[in-house]
């Protein structure tokens, strides 16, 4: 607008007409704009304002939620030099890794199987989707009982039926992250299966028939027809999965409290503890900003790789 | 014309939303019609019929006696997940309550009003137990909190499991452990003879560290000390600390006296004790009195002094504390203190206050809780207050008082408050040590202690401004 105004009278006279055009555009869809007022207001208040405030506060010393003194990058230095930071970051990466290893192929396989099913498809979809409607904390507590150490744990009771000694589950720091990840995958599986299934059902069956006539086997059909068609959905769910799992809080909070000895502590849980256990809000928002930047970086890298792969 | 209507619609919508937002941002009710309005937190819900009726009756009487004050009940009870958000949004009640572990955090964050002058005028300041003063004060020595229910930890004992395990003296009395060594041996016997855990302690959400403090102190550990220049130094990289941690390790791996579950918070510890899955644990007196509410017969509850370690017996103090919201007016502060006094929570015990105390005791009786024969911990040094309340307790006690005598004797027990700096951070650091020695049979105790001391110094003490 400012650029237009500097270009002499003729161009300057065009400015009101631009305003008029905008005005007309608003009036053309007046009810749409009215309907948008509340969502925009809520979006700004609930999403953008906290993000902007959070980033701003991360440069301040805080008293409660009230910024007191500008401290530059000190909060970030405090968070990054915490002796637990690198371990917690590595734990979080492990959560993401295991969620990809366990959580990505499984729904694809199940969706392919469901897509081939003739009878009982509805029932299976219902059963698979059921865990999605259970609150996350309830799921975590159910799995905590499954994983409980000693003969009273449900998995150990199962093992006892086969004469196997009770195993250590959540108290085993070597496997605690994959175990928590399994509970997450169990809950989220149904949603992913439904999305993959919807994509698979959009694939033209004539392609499969043509491939079959050309002598393509099952795996060849999967590789050349199915996977190219669902690759977009795989990309979408992978990015969503990385972003979602990177923020994991509730599951380790409910199942292990971050233990044993910090073995299941995630960045999200550390953030929660900073804010609600220790009342160190400046460190909490600083860690939030660091996590945000890490996720932006990860997503960027992923897209780069994906583009390279597609090229 | 249409444009004008549109502008009006937009303007009115925004005005309505902003007005709603603004009204939701202030909780401190202004004086209305010359009356002072205060909201009182922790108010029971209608579902808690007995407590609700008691409080509503007290409110009616108070408002009749003080026609210039209006009480607004607020059902919010402190919980770690929501408290800070409510405090930040200025949504706390005028008078609210939290566990004492949160007190310094609340004062530091400016969420509680300075009530020093008001307390001095009422002679409460002078009557407050001096050992509690530091805890209730900010860095300038100004009082911002009032303790209402204090305790020192004790050893909860399930008599039935003790008898079943044969831990009984010749005269029929229980072989209650006097030392930590005896505790380990008793716990082992119970596990062997009954299959139930002999001892239980929390391991997560800072509970492990909190309980471990008592053991560590009795082994001679001091966790931090202030230097001449005002800074703090972590001081628990010592042999005493290694011995204390080795003791917890031995409870698990040598005596096999603990539960198989190693992910235990304070709440689930209570459940294990209520359902008689564990025979001993450290509890506050009020927690011990609440255990029968979960089903355990109150006759089986025995409450003893904390065991002794090589350096003596130590019991940590804790309790509940009330605050007045930071933005309360002087009139609201006075009204809130009037209400506390009426409730029997102040340094003056009027007839009305005594009656309210009595109603509270009756309510606890109806819930099936234990009423011991005295207040666990005197908050006010004025003997009159304690004596009047103790007389009420004696009137309604519902147990064999001998079962609590060992605890109340406090014989040789050093009652010790929490540290004033980085308390929760220390507990979190110790939680990790406890988890490691309870889950890893090959735990490197030496390395653990070294790391914990270093971590506590670098991550927390060095960052104190």
What is the interface pTM, i.e. ipTM, of the complex? 0.74
Task: Give pLDDT, residue A263.
Answer: 93
Q: Does A223 touch chain B (CB under 8 A)?
A: no
Query: What is the side-by-side order of every strand in the sheet holding B301-304?
Result: B197-200, B278-283, B154-158, B301-304
Domain segments of chain B: what residues? 28-152+319-395, 154-317+417-463
With bands split at pLDDT 50, 70 and 90, how would you rate the model's confidence at B96? very high
Interface test with A, best of B263, B277, B278 (most A CBs within 10 A): B263
Task: Give pLDDT, residue A128.
Answer: 87
Task: Give pLDDT, residue B237.
Answer: 96
Q: What is the C-alpha separation between A107 and B381, in angstroms, rounded?
A: 67
Task: Give pLDDT, residue A16.
Answer: 64
Task: Give pLDDT, residue A309.
Answer: 56
- Tell me whether residues A279 and B109 touch, CB distance under 8 A: yes
Burial class of residue A304, CB neighbours in 10 A (0-12, 13-18, 19+)? exposed
**Whether the predicted pLDDT of B23 surpasses 90:** no
Contact B100, B319 (CB under 8 A): yes
With bands split at pLDDT 50, 70 and 90, how would you rate the model's confidence at B263? confident
Task: Give pLDDT, residue B8.
Answer: 55
Task: Give pLDDT, residue B437.
Answer: 95
Query: Which residues of chain A does B9 touch, with a Cβ-Cβ cutoff of 8 Å?
Result: 34
Task: Identify the sign of the CA torsion B167, B172, B174, B179.
Answer: negative
Task: Give pLDDT, residue B254.
Answer: 96
**Higher local confidence (pLDDT), A239 or B431:** B431
Residues of chain A with CATH 1.10.3720.10: 85-264
Average pLDDT, chain B: 88
Nearest-CB residue to B435 (from A63, A66, A261) = A261
Nearest alpha-carbon partner for B289 in B130, B385, B407: B407
Task: Give pLDDT, residue A298.
Answer: 77
Number of H helices, E strands in chain B: 19, 13
- CATH placement of domain B28-152+319-395: 3.40.190.10
Blockwise average pLDDT, block size 10, chain A, 311 residues? 43 64 80 87 90 92 82 92 92 94 91 85 86 91 90 89 89 93 92 90 86 86 87 85 89 91 93 86 92 84 68 60
Interface test with A, best of B435, B445, B452, B464 (most A CBs within 10 A): B435
Interface size, chain A vs chain B, as Cβ–Cβ contacts under 8 Å: 117
CATH superfamily membership of A85-264: MetI-like (1.10.3720.10)
Contact A79, A85 (CB under 8 A): yes
**Whether the predicted pLDDT of B11 surpasses 80:** no
Task: Give pLDDT, residue B270.
Answer: 93
**Whether the predicted pLDDT of B342 surpasses 70:** yes
Find the closest chain A residue to B424 by CA distance. Answer: A278
Name, of A156-160, A306-310, B13-17, B126-130, the range with top average pLDDT. A156-160
State mean pLDDT over B336-365: 88
Chain B nearest C-alpha distance from A60 (Å): 14
- Tell me whether residues A261 and B433 touch, CB distance under 8 A: yes
Give tens-digit pLDDT for B307-339.
999 999 999 988 889 999 999 999 999 999 999
A62-71, A175-184, B198-207, B390-399: least confident range: A62-71
Task: Give pLDDT, residue B415.
Answer: 86
Burial class of residue B98, CB neighbours in 10 A (0-12, 13-18, 19+)? buried
Q: Does domain B154-317+417-463 bear CATH number 3.40.190.10?
A: yes
Task: Give pLDDT, residue A230.
Answer: 87
pTM for the whole structure: 0.80
């Amino acid at each position: 607008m400012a650029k237009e105004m500097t270009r002499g009278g003729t161009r300057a006279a065009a400015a009101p007409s631009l305003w008029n055009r905008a005005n007309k555009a608003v009036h053309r869809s007046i009810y749409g704009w009215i309907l948008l007022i509340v969502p925009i207001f809520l979006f700004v208040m609930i999403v953008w304002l906290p993000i902007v405030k959070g980033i701003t506060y991360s440069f301040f010393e805080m008293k409660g939620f009230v910024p007191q003194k500008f401290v530059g990058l000190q909060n970030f230095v405090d968070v990054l030099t915490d002796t637990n930071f690198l371990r917690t970051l590595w734990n979080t990466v492990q959560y993401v890794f295991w969620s990809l290893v366990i959580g990505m192929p499984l729904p694809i396989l199940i969706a392919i199987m469901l897509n081939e099913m003739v009878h009982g498809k509805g029932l299976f979809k219902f059963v698979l989707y059921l865990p999605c409607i259970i609150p996350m904390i309830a799921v975590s507590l159910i799995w905590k009982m499954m994983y409980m150490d000693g003969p009273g744990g449900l998995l150990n009771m199962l093992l006892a039926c086969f004469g196997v000694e009770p195993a250590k589950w959540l108290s085993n720091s070597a496997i605690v992250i994959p175990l928590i990840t399994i509970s997450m995958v169990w809950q989220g599986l149904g949603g992913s299966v439904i999305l993959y299934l919807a994509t698979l059902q959009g694939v033209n069956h004539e392609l499969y028939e043509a491939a079959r006539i050309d002598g393509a086997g099952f795996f060849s059909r999967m590789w050349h027809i199915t996977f190219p068609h669902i690759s977009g959905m795989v990309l979408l769910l992978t990015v969503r999965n990385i972003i979602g799992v990177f923020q994991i809080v509730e599951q380790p909070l409910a199942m292990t409290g971050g233990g044993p000895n910090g073995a299941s502590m995630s960045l999200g849980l550390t953030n929660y503890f900073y804010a609600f256990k220790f009342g160190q809000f400046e460190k909490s928002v600083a860690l939030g900003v660091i996590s945000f930047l890490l996720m932006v970086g990860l997503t960027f890298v992923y897209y780069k790789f994906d583009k390279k792969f597609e090229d | 014309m249409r444009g004008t209507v549109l502008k009006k619609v937009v303007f009115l919508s925004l005005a309505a939303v902003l007005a709603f937002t603004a009204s939701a941002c202030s909780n401190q009710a202004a004086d209305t019609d010359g009356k002072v309005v205060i909201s009182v937190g922790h108010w029971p819900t209608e579902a808690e019929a007995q407590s609700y009726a008691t409080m509503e009756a007290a409110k009616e009487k108070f408002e009749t006696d003080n026609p210039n004050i209006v009480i607004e009940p607020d059902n919010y009870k402190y919980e770690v997940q929501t408290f800070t958000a409510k405090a930040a949004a200025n949504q706390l009640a005028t008078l609210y309550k939290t566990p004492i572990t949160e007190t310094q955090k609340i004062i530091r964050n400016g969420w509680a009003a300075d009530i020093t002058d008001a307390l001095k005028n009422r002679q409460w300041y002078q009557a407050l137990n001096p050992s509690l003063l530091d805890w209730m004060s900010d860095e300038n020595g100004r009082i911002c909190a009032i303790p209402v229910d204090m305790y020192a930890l004790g050893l909860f004992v399930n008599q039935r499991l003790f008898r079943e395990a044969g831990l009984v003296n010749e005269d029929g009395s229980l072989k209650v452990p006097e030392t930590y060594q005896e505790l380990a041996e008793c716990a082992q016997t119970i596990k062997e003879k009954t299959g139930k855990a002999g001892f239980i302690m929390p391991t997560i959400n800072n509970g492990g560290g909190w309980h471990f403090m008592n053991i560590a102190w009795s082994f001679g550990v001091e966790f931090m000390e202030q230097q001449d220049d005002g800074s703090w130094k972590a001081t628990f990289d010592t042999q005493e600390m290694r011995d204390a941690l080795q003791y917890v390790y031995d409870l698990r791996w040598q005596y096999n006296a603990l539960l198989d579950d190693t992910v235990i918070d304070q709440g689930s510890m209570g459940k294990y004790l209520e359902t008689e899955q564990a025979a001993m644990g450290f509890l506050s007196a009020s927690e011990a009195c609440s255990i029968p509410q979960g089903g355990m017969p109150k006759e089986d509850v025995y409450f003893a002094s904390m065991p002794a370690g090589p350096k003596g017996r130590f019991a940590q103090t804790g309790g509940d504390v009330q605050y007045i919201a930071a933005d309360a007016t002087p009139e609201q502060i006075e009204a809130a203190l009037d209400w506390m006094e009426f409730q029997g929570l102040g340094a003056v015990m009027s007839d009305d206050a005594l009656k309210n105390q009595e109603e509270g005791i009756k309510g606890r009786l109806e819930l099936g809780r234990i009423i011991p024969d005295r207040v666990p911990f005197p908050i006010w040094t004025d003997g009159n207050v304690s004596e009047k309340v103790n007389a009420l307790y004696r009137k309604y006690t519902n147990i064999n008082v001998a079962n609590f005598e060992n605890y109340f004797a406090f014989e040789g027990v050093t009652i010790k408050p929490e540290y004033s700096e980085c308390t929760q951070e220390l507990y979190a650091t110790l939680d990790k040590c406890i988890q490691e020695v309870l889950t890893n049979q090959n735990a490197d105790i030496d390395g653990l202690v070294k790391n914990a001391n270093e971590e506590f110094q670098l991550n927390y003490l060095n960052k104190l401004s």
